[in-house]
Amino acid sequence: MRRIEWVIINEENLDEKIAQLTAGGAPLAIFALTAQGYENLGLNFSDIRALVQQQQEIIIAYENYYKAAEQAMNNAVIQRQAQEEAAAVEAAKSGIDLNPFN
């Protein structure tokens, strides 16, 4: 995350902080939070972090599911090929091909 500089302004330092912030000629804008708003900001970041972690876990679960499904399909293809080869060997031994799909 990018660095954020917080400036705390209160009744005692209001004039000093405004002078510092406008010294470079930049326009002044003040964003303020109440104590409850600051607490809510922290809670929101916590919620976002939890959501990101949850999404990462879902992505990993999907990845594992699809890897397992792909492996099962590959195993089924290999097993089918082995069965076809065994049937072809048996047919070659008997000299008669009874498989209409060849």
List the domain boundaries for the chain.
Answer: 14-94
Task: Say what the pLDDT of residue 39 is.
Answer: 95
Does this model's pTM top 0.85? My answer is: no
Q: Which residue has the higher pLDDT, 97 or 88?
A: 88
| CA atoms of 100 and 36, how far apart (whole Å) | 78
57-63 long-range contacts (CB < 8 A, ≥24 apart) are: none
| CA atoms of 21 and 27, how far apart (whole Å) | 8
Kindly tell me if the per-residue pLDDT of 6 is higher than 90.
no
Task: Say what the pLDDT of residue 88 is.
Answer: 81
* Digit-coded pLDDT (tens) for 38-92: 999 999 999 999 999 999 999 999 999 999 999 999 999 999 999 988 888 877 7
